[in-house]
């Protein structure tokens, strides 16, 4: 169905298309290719330009490091409007990437493309990409879970994709701030500082980058020295969902050794994620693996086991009740942090605003978990908030106000996917 909204979404993706990759926004705020943005944007291209969807993912994997990591940013062109740009990172074989990763949603997106386009058109792409995906997932379980716990760690809040979520507050407070970088920030030239991470957070983000740079971004060094290290439920839930989708892709190309390897990842992570359920809290809790402390901040990542596993709701009905309570406290679904808590800030980035990409994960998960009614509500709200406030980066769940960057690629992609 073609509507004004889908026409506008296509126009945004076309405008942000740089040929073989898409920038999150043309405004200058993010002048490069971000890992999970690219994957999620491919879901939008899939609705009107299948070849372009595959190219997006293939460009991302062209940037894969020899050790298997797929960086969180690939810098392709003029990156002078972004801080920290390639000259600061000084990372990767071509010095054109960041030195950390982002949520591994690629396998899930590739499976979606396969289901959309069928075997004939997808098989050559899957043959190319599945071994690269396997190398990335293997990197996670070696570099980021060297003790074999079944949960991989993030070493920087940027790796989570949910930069300033209150879930990181305590772990980040323990990181040395280093010198102030307030005068170097470029993001606040494009978006109101009141809806972005704080100066104290940015100083620590950059100090972590400099600490990793001093180690040459060597995976065998970073895990032990990282001053920030969290086994996050949301991140691991996205990885687990991707593991299941990767298993499907490897099976399709008859890689039996690969299937067996991923089966081990799946069963270890299933048990480890389940062990993060806290009956008294009625929530999944992430853990600071430097201190061993459970993190009692209810961020939206704690709901993502619904996306990883279709049995989550039947095992833990309390999780659905919790989500329903969140929704009762806002106008529009879904806040990225629990409303009513002191840390909830409905306009500040990942401390409360709605992000459509996470809404999509919950919609998908709720359908699989036998709650199509809740999925419908979130879908309706997601489309309505864009119709009302435009293709913004994120939205205030209490008012529907659009916030952050404008003409955002992944917001456009989610509209195409959800409206289709």
Give the interface with ligand 9YW as residue ranges (CB under 6 A).
24, 30, 34, 36-37, 158, 161, 163
Cβ proximity to ligand 9YW, 34 vs 326, nearer residue: 34
Whether a cis peptide bond, with omega within 30° of 0, leads into 334 is yes
Catalytic residue selected from 245, 393, 396, 401 = 393
Closest CB to ligand 9YW among 229 and 392? 392
**Shorter beta-carbon distance to ligand 9YW: residue 6 or 98:** 98
- Rounded CA-CA distance 162/230 in Å is 13
Phi/psi for 73 (5° steps) reads -135, 135
145 included as an active-site residue: no
Q: Rounded to the nearest whole angstrom, what is the least distance from the CB of residue 83 to ligand 9YW in the complex?
A: 8
CB atoms within 10 A of CB 216: 11
Shortest Cβ 305–ligand 9YW spacing (Å):
20
Partners of 287 in beta bridges: 231, 294
How far is residue 187's CA from residue 190's CA, in Å, rounded to a whole number? 5
Structure tokens at 301: 């990542």
Q: Are 209 and 89 in contact (CB under 8 A)?
A: yes
Residue with the two structure tokens 């106008």: 331
Q: What's the length of the chain?
A: 420
Is 393 a residue of the active site?
yes
Which residue number, 87 or 294, has a Cβ lying nearer to ligand 9YW? 87
Q: Which is nearer to ligand 9YW, 232 or 261 (CB)?
A: 232
Q: In which residue are the tokens 């009762």 written?
A: 328
How many angstroms separate the CA atoms of 50 and 44, rounded?
A: 9
Write down the catalytic residue from 37, 163, 203, 309.
163
Largest CA distance in the chain: 55
| Residues marked as catalytic | 163, 393
């Amino acid at each position: 169905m073609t509507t004004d909204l889908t026409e506008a979404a296509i126009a945004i993706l076309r405008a942000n298309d740089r040929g073989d990759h898409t920038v999150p926004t043309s405004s200058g705020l993010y002048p490069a290719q971000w890992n999970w943005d690219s994957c999620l944007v491919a879901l939008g291209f899939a609705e009107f330009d299948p070849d372009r969807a595959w190219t997006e993912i293939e460009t991302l994997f062209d940037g894969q490091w020899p050790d298997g990591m797929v960086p969180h940013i690939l810098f392709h062109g003029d990156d002078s409007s972004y801080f920290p740009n390639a000259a600061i990172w000084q990372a990767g074989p071509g010095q054109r990437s960041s030195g950390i990763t982002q949520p591994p949603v690629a396998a899930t997106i590739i499976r979606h493309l396969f289901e959309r386009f069928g075997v004939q058109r997808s098989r050559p792409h899957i043959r190319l990409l599945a071994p690269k995906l396997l190398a990335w997932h293997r990197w996670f379980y070696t570099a980021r879970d060297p003790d074999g716990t079944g949960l991989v760690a993030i070493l920087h809040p940027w790796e989570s994709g949910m930069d300033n979520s209150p879930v990181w507050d305590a772990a980040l407070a323990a990181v040395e701030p280093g010198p102030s970088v307030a005068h170097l920030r470029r993001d606040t030239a494009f978006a109101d500082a009141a809806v972005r991470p704080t100066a104290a957070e940015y100083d620590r983000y950059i100090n972590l980058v400099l600490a990793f740079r001093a180690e040459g971004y060597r995976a065998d060094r970073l895990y032990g020295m990282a001053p920030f290290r969290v086994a996050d439920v949301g991140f691991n839930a996205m990885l687990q969902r991707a593991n299941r989708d990767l298993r499907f892709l490897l099976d399709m190309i008859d890689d039996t050794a690969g299937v067996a390897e991923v089966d081990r990842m799946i069963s270890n992570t299933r048990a480890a994620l389940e062990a993060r359920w806290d009956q008294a809290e009625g929530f999944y809790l992430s853990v600071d693996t430097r201190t061993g402390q459970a993190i009692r901040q209810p961020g939206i990542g704690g709901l993502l086991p619904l996306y990883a596993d279709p049995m989550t709701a039947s095992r833990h009905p309390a999780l659905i009740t919790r989500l329903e309570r969140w929704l009762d406290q806002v106008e529009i679904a879904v806040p990225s942090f629990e409303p009513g808590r002191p840390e909830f800030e409905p306009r500040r980035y990942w401390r409360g605003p709605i992000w459509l990409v996470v809404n999509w994960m919950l919609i998908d998960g709720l359908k699989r978990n036998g709650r199509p009614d809740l999925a419908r509500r979130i879908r309706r709200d997601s489309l309505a908030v864009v119709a009302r406030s435009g293709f913004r980066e994120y939205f205030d769940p209490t008012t529907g106000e659009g916030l952050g960057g404008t003409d955002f690629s992944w917001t456009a992609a989610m509209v195409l996917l959800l409206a289709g």
